[in-house]
Amino acid sequence: MMSKARVIAFYLPQFHPFKENDAWWGKGFTEWTNVGKAKPLFRGHYQPRVPADLGYYDLRLPIIREQQAEMARNAGIEGFMYWHYWFGNGKTLMANIFNEVLESGSPDFPFCLGWANHSWSRRTWNSSSQNHKDVDLMIQEYPGDADIISHFNNVLPAFKDKRYIRVDDKPIFMIYDPMGLPNPRHFIDIWNRLAKENGIDKGIHFVGLASGWLEKYSRILEIGFDAIAPSNLWVAESKVKGRLIKMVGHKLRKYFPKYTPLDLYKYKDIIKYLFTDYDMMENGYPSVIPNWDRSPRGGRRAVIYTGATPELFKKHMLDAIRIVENKQDEHKIIFLRSWNEWAEGNYVEPDLKYGRAYLDVIKELLKD
């Protein structure tokens, strides 16, 4: 029997030291560094967030990855979508975590990949420090066909793994910035041809993450993607605040964060607008977010949702399940954003405040 929904959780592999982070931020920097030093910016602001069951873990430890998979499986989550970094010319970051999962066969838990095709700058991971200009650290490049082929060969072993999540018998592959590709249709055509040459007869199921203004969403399907994953945060925030106020505040905050009011929204207001007509489409895969608070990375520049609780998340999750309930079983996909984005405040791993309550909500709704 098919589950009520196929919940796939975004998974960030940042929680371990590596040489580039050491060079850019100082020895031993991981995402926990931002999480641990976060400070409340107003009365009642829930910061810092402290992990409970798994502690301040290091993803190089196989036992942690096993425990994460066990928690997710127990909650009814189908699998993890690991963020995958390919900057062009064979340059990757943090690939070791997923490579170990792939090569060891452990945890025996479904997965897929999402290509985070964006440049890294100082602001990507820490824009709260006023004395740092927004310096480019790693540029996302698209050198041409040879690189497209090399990139495909890099992920082919994952596509062929029995754990890889499929839709309509095709391995699912998300692209974070679909419009960032110089020629998306060309990229998709090459990968589908290579897939068929390598025994993946039906090709790849390409999903484009859609964000920003709604007017741009349909373009992603027009340029050859099989499906979209609407990320409607900007849309919801603009509806709660008003489009003009949102845009003006966004600009002012970028350049004058000290003198601009914080960008605050009540979670209970945001979730009223987090789904659009694009989520209702057969090939539109809605996302659920447990919360949003980028202040550990962004300081006063951050977007912050307030008042999120497991009870409100349950309401939000129920809305998503109702959206997918009449789709074909294969397409009842809901992306959980995210499993462990602690510095964005969107995670379901246990913390000291709510324990396993978010995971319990998912379990209750999926296994009810």
pLDDT at 157 over 90: yes
| pLDDT, average across residues 240-268 | 89
Any domain includes 361: yes
Q: Which pTM was predicted?
A: 0.96
Total number of domains constituting the chain: 1
> Two tokens at 270?
């945001």
Q: What is the pLDDT of residue 303?
A: 95
Bin 159: left if φ > 0, else alpha if -120 < ψ < 50, else beta. alpha
Taking each continuous run of H as one helix and of E as one strand, the counts in the chain are 15, 15
Q: What is the pLDDT of residue 127?
A: 58
Any domain includes 138: yes
Pick the closest to residue 353 from 55, 68, 41, 52 (CA basis). Answer: 52
Residue range 309-341, pLDDT digits in tens: 999 999 999 999 999 999 999 999 999 999 999
Q: Which residues lie below 8 Å from residue 145, measured CB to CB, with a gap of 6+?
A: 190
Query: Which CATH number covers residue 329?
Result: 3.20.20.80
Residue range 9-20, pLDDT digits in tens: 999 999 999 999
Q: What is the pLDDT of residue 136?
A: 86
Element (H, E) at 35: helix 31-37
| pLDDT, average across residues 202-206 | 98
Residue range 44-66, pLDDT digits in tens: 999 999 999 999 999 999 999 99
Burial of 136 (0-12, 13-18, 19+ CB in 10 A): exposed
pLDDT at 219 over 70: yes
| Contact criterion met (CB below 8 Å) for 308 and 134 | no
Any domain includes 168: yes
Which of the four pLDDT bands, split at 50, 70 and 90, describes residue 132?
A: very low
Any domain includes 255: yes
Domain that holds residue 16: 6-367
Any domain includes 298: yes
Any domain includes 128: yes
> Two tokens at 288?
């659920």
| pLDDT, average across residues 200-226 | 96
Any domain includes 1: no
Residue range 68-83, pLDDT digits in tens: 999 999 999 999 999 9
Which of the four pLDDT bands, split at 50, 70 and 90, describes residue 130?
A: very low
Query: Which stretch of 118-127, 234-243, 337-346 has the lowest confidence by average pLDDT?
Result: 118-127
Any domain includes 290: yes
Specify the length of the chain in residues: 368
pLDDT at 129 over 60: no
Q: What is the pLDDT of residue 128?
A: 52
Q: What is the pLDDT of residue 367?
A: 86
